[in-house]
A and B are shown apart, each in its own frame.
Chain A
Amino acid sequence: MEHGEAAEGLIGAGAAWLQATALGAAMRESLYLYPLANLLHLLGLVMLIGGIGLLDLRLIGLGRRLPVREMSRFLTPIGVTGLVLMLATGTALFSADAGPLARGDVFQTKIVLVAIAVVNAILFRLLWQRRLADWDARPPIIGRIQALGSVGLWLSAATFGRLIAYG
């Protein structure tokens, strides 16, 4: 990735600061906090992909007998809860070893993918939230591509996330 040196320095300084916080120290020192955060991070992923991933499949065009608006009302809160859980536990896991992690290309790739996926999700809601009731009759092609992108982005982010441990 192309970074300005200033941006690189800022990210490095932020990572060093986070690593030096009480949170970072607790995550390193406690026998069980780190595995627990790992477990909840995985639960968040299951909720995110299980919620939004299924909704995406419906938006793409599978399972057409199910009404999109009702599916969205049910699954979106599950997915958003999963994402929030992942952001919280991810910050905690990151804080244990932030400096070296932030310099790793696998971790950087993962964060970029998460950022793009979140922007994609926000754009999707801005564009289509009010028209979800029409989706069953007339699904917009752009929206369906966004849903496809959503599945691909979240799965890629999850893949790179898992690969951090093998980088």
Chain B
Amino acid sequence: MVLRTAISAAFLAALPAAALAHHGWSSYDPNTVLTLEGPIEAASYQNPHGEIELTVDGKHWRAVLAPPSRMDRRGLSRDALVVGKMVTVVGYPSRVDENEMRAERITVDGQTVELR
């Protein structure tokens, strides 16, 4: 009885309720490579991963970066991501959120840092 209830509950729960893309590369389209350049409008250097916001050709983008520990290790410090600074991010658009992209690399202060 317990087992049957458990199994049916598990299946019911597994039905997609509100598909919310969160992290992970699989929810981004690797066949579309975006290069966005502009001044940083907002930046967060936070777990589980950092983010910057920028507007390119009138469209507002949220670019998902890497975990802070990885960015720090690769030489992209917290101080590098300052509002107003020009950056270039290369990455892929989200399949779910049209204003979100996942950055493969970022160029700031003439330095390019791989984020994957």
Contacts and interface: CB of A to CB of B under 8 A. Distances in A.
Given A29-B46, A112-B9, A123 B26 contact: no
Interface residues of A, number: 37
Given A105-B16, A105-B19, A167-B22, A116 B6 contact: yes
Interface residues of B, number: 30
Contacts of B23: 164-167
A103 B20 contact: yes
B46 A101 contact: no
Nearest to A25: B46
A145 B14 CA distance: 22
Interface of A is mostly: helix
A103 B17 CA distance: 9
A34 B48 contact: yes
Interface in A25-41: 27-35
A120 interface: yes
A146 B19 contact: no
A97 interface: yes
Nearest to B50: A28
* Nearest 10 A/B pairs, CB to CB: A34-B47, A166-B24, A28-B46, A149-B3, A105-B17, A109-B13, A112-B13, A104-B20, A116-B6, A31-B69
